[in-house]
Chains A and B, each alone.
Chain A
Amino acid sequence: MENVESNTSMMANAEATATCWSCGTMRAVHFCSACGKVQPPEPVDYFTFFGLSRRLNLDAVLLEREFYELSRKLHPDLCARADKREQEWSLEQSSLLNDAYRTLKDPIKRTEYLLRLEGVELEEQSKAATEKARTTGEVKKQVVPPDLLEEVFELNMQLEELRAQKKLGEDDPALIEEIGKQKLELEEKYESLSEELKAYWNDWDRLADSANEESRLKVRDKMVDLLNRRSYIRNLVRDVNEVLEN
């Protein structure tokens, strides 16, 4: 993965101008650069926690190294003999570190997280829809991405047919093969979406500091659309697997 950011260490970005509760000298954000004591956590987003700006391209190797370095400063194992307060902070800080790392290292989670920071309620929307479907007892309706409409329609027909056959204790090898082929195509499409997403990352990062709000929103919406399509395909493949395996 290429790093659009400059080559400066992330650690350098993480410098802050607060004072250490213990020794009073200037400290890095999460621990004191002079005495090493863990500092009380501050409510920051995951990018800020790592001293990163909100960009989608990031260097996974550098992120991992940074994660290990910070773990060596913040992990509760290293504070087992510290006073209760510092132990508490270490627990909170390292959980924040782990949560942040888990989210940022995964390209999809990272994108979803950034979109949420930008005010898009991805998860909540789907959650709300799921809740509603559960309470009303209706099947959750997902909007079929237009470019998949035809394929999905056909695949659903075939799945219905296979289900019916299986109920009667028979199955048609030709039909299974046909469904398997479509599944493969879907999986390929799913993979290709990741590439497509990376193209949007570049657009987003390029526009990150630009004043062109309209272009930024356009890229944002494209990413939302892509993630929706992606989760739609994922659910579809899951359905196919269920029918094939049962």
Chain B
Amino acid sequence: MSTDRIVGIDLGTTNSLVAFMQGESPVVIPGEDGLNLVPSVVALDARDQIIVGNAARKYLIETPKRAIYSIKRLMGRGLEDIRDELKLFPFQLAEDLQTGEVLRIKLGEKTFTPPEISAFILRQLKRNAERFFNAPVTKAVITVPAYFNDAQRQATKDAGRIAGLEVLRLVNEPTAASLAYGLDKKQNGIVAVYDLGGGTFDVSILKLHDGIFEVIATNGDTHLGGDDIDNLLIKVAIDDILGDANLDVSRNGEAVARIRKAVIEAKIALSSQLETTLDIELPEGKRYQREITREQFEHLIKPIIDRTVGPCKQALKDAGLKPQQIDEVVLVGGSTRIPKVRALVEELFQRKPHADLNPDEVVALGAAVQANILGGGSEATENMLLLDVTPLSVGIEVAGGVTDKIILRNSTIPASATQYYTTQIDGQANVAIHVLQGEREMAKDCRSLARFDLKGIPPMTAGLPRIEVKFLIDANGILHVSAREQRSGKESEIEVQPSYGLTDDQVESMILDSFDYAEEDFRQRQVIEARNEAETILAALEKGKKTPAWGNLTSDEKKKIAKLEKALIEVKGEDDHSAIRKAIDFLNQGTMRLAELMMDTAVSTVLKGKSMDEADMGEGSETGHPVARADFE
């Protein structure tokens, strides 16, 4: 059972989480720092070690060139997609980047693709889960924004593979959230999920029917979220500073990072307060201070949050529903804490939205529910089944550069379409197919997914071959294409050139590269194990001090033990497992006599030479050991 544990992962723009189904309810697995949220920040420390999460955050300010956040915005994207992003985010691209190549981001002197950086985050989550279960974790369900296109989904799946995770399913975030909600209230009806996160916006409309979660329509914007609010506030502050202090900080990475931190804090404060102060230390000993009221804030962000209205209306229209027909509205994502956003949702759907579950955690919890379903289900998830849709139409380019849509958006997945092709000239052996994703009429306005080259068509007169090409979108929302020449029955060979994304070979080599880090994982695990052992012996010592045996030790012996104890406590916080082991051994040696004294005389001969932690045995299978009796003496 435990070997086949499947975890649910929310790989977010701002924060990431890992959750699993504990008995009948999903729970988030905390990190070593005890926190549920792992900030999606990756940094390279002075020794070129990868640091992830809370520990990496300080690098954003200290060494901005060695830290990165919001990498999700770059997943599955090309150079030309992110021109606007680059103006707003301190992403540094590799200098030797070629057009058409998968993006590579500079982190210190090294470069990584977005899937590799995401893999560092996933690896941290995997580690957290392994620490929690004390067992390896290799399978996961990962959530993606519902409006993610094929390339963005593929990039997420690649990230999972690089991190050593078999991605059993990609689940759309709003749908996952509805699963978490649906678990408590098994009821039928129409639910709208409004999900405004750090970098992405999704809206999904679902029909709940006896455990079936059927998505009817989905819409969104993969570049709309809390980040955009932050960037706007940063811009306002930078302009202000230039005006007031005549100081241009826009190119000062550290100053911008400070401003960013301060505006985020102000944004969060304004969800519960009516006003707050921005107070930022600037270079040249200057200071930027400014009062900001909620009213001003709401006025500033209106154009951003208003961008969620169009997708909501389109989703309703696609679902063929009026706002009054929605039974419940659910809020997901940290940005839905903003009162103005809640007011907007209430107005749009004419209904007070639900936010019973923590909007930061609900997606991960839903992913854990889906993981449980995939793992065979349990009593809690019995009869639960998710029927999701593809957010964007898939089409092929036909004469005149026009898109011919073959699978329409909001089709339940898996979905398929079959097209027939023939040749234009005698003996033609290849046919090229250009596959697109999007709603626009012209191919150039849609997103290019891939160019397929059908090869090895048997030589025939023009127009005679009949090549059947099957397009299939799987339950992850990822497209697969296969082809067959019908007259010869020959399976055509397809050469795929993904427009954006890594080839299989590239992913394989990244998995190999990641073994360097796997070694790092192994070291970390050794540290964790040594630490656990240190805890055990220290706890046993505490217990020993309360026994009469402690009083029988000489003061020298007690002093020596205290010294060794202190040494172990100091070293256990460090990342050096052999040092921890050494300190454990010393403490064991030093407490040998205490252990002996603690033992009942009748059995002390048998246990002679046993160390402190072995002698404690107050728990587990060895309860009833003489030492337990010694406690009562």
A and B physically associate:
yes
- Which of A49-57, A97-105, A183-191 participates in binding chain B? A97-105
A24-39 interface bits toward B, Cβ cutoff 8 Å, 1 = contact, 0 = none? 0000000000000000
B474 close to A98 (CB less than 8 A): no
A77 close to B411 (CB less than 8 A): no
A134 close to B373 (CB less than 8 A): no
B399 at interface, CB cutoff 8 A? yes
A71 close to B212 (CB less than 8 A): yes
C-alpha spacing A133/B370, complex, angstroms: 49
B303 at interface, CB cutoff 8 A? no
In the bound complex, residues from chain B placing their C-beta under 8 Å from that of A95 are 413-416, 472-473
B414 close to A131 (CB less than 8 A): no
Q: Assess A91 versus B472: contact at CB under 8 Å? Given A68-B209, A131-B398, A135-B399.
A: yes
C-alpha spacing A98/B375, complex, angstroms: 23
A16 at interface, CB cutoff 8 A? no
> How many residues of B are in contact with the other chain, CB < 8 A?
30
In the bound complex, residues from chain A placing their C-beta under 8 Å from that of B374 are 77, 80-81
B376 close to A81 (CB less than 8 A): yes
B169 at interface, CB cutoff 8 A? yes
B 469-513 contacts with A by CB, 8 A? 472-475
Q: Assess A98 versus B385: contact at CB under 8 Å? Given A77-B475, A80-B169, A131-B398.
A: no
B375 close to A71 (CB less than 8 A): no
Taking a contact as CB atoms closer than 8 A, the residue among A78, A98, A131 that contacts B413 in the complex is A98
A96 at interface, CB cutoff 8 A? yes
Measured CB to CB, the nearest residue on chain A to B377 is: A78
A111 at interface, CB cutoff 8 A? no
A76 close to B414 (CB less than 8 A): yes
A102 close to B399 (CB less than 8 A): no
A161-173 interface bits toward B, Cβ cutoff 8 Å, 1 = contact, 0 = none? 0000000000000
A134 close to B399 (CB less than 8 A): yes
A75 at interface, CB cutoff 8 A? yes
A68 close to B411 (CB less than 8 A): no
A215-231 interface bits toward B, Cβ cutoff 8 Å, 1 = contact, 0 = none? 00000000000000000
Tell me how far the C-beta of B232 lies from the nearest C-beta in chain A, rounded to whole angstroms.
Answer: 30
B528 at interface, CB cutoff 8 A? no
In the bound complex, residues from chain A placing their C-beta under 8 Å from that of B373 are 77
Interface residues of B (CB under 8 A from A): 168-169, 209-210, 212, 370, 373-376, 383, 385-387, 398-400, 402, 404, 411-417, 472-475
Please name 25 pairs of A and B residues whose Cβ atoms are closer than 8 Å in the assembled complex, sorted by A.
A68-B210, A71-B212, A71-B385, A72-B212, A72-B383, A72-B385, A75-B387, A75-B475, A76-B414, A76-B475, A77-B385, A77-B386, A78-B385, A80-B374, A81-B374, A81-B376, A92-B472, A95-B414, A95-B415, A96-B416, A98-B411, A98-B412, A98-B414, A131-B399, A134-B402
Interface residues of A (CB under 8 A from B): 68, 71-72, 75-78, 80-81, 91-92, 94-96, 98-99, 101-102, 127, 131, 134-135
A sample of 19 more A-B contacts (CB under 8 A), given A68-B209, A72-B383, A80-B374, is A72-B385, A75-B385, A75-B387, A75-B475, A76-B414, A76-B474, A78-B385, A80-B168, A80-B169, A91-B474, A92-B414, A94-B475, A96-B416, A98-B412, A99-B416, A99-B417, A101-B412, A102-B412, A131-B398
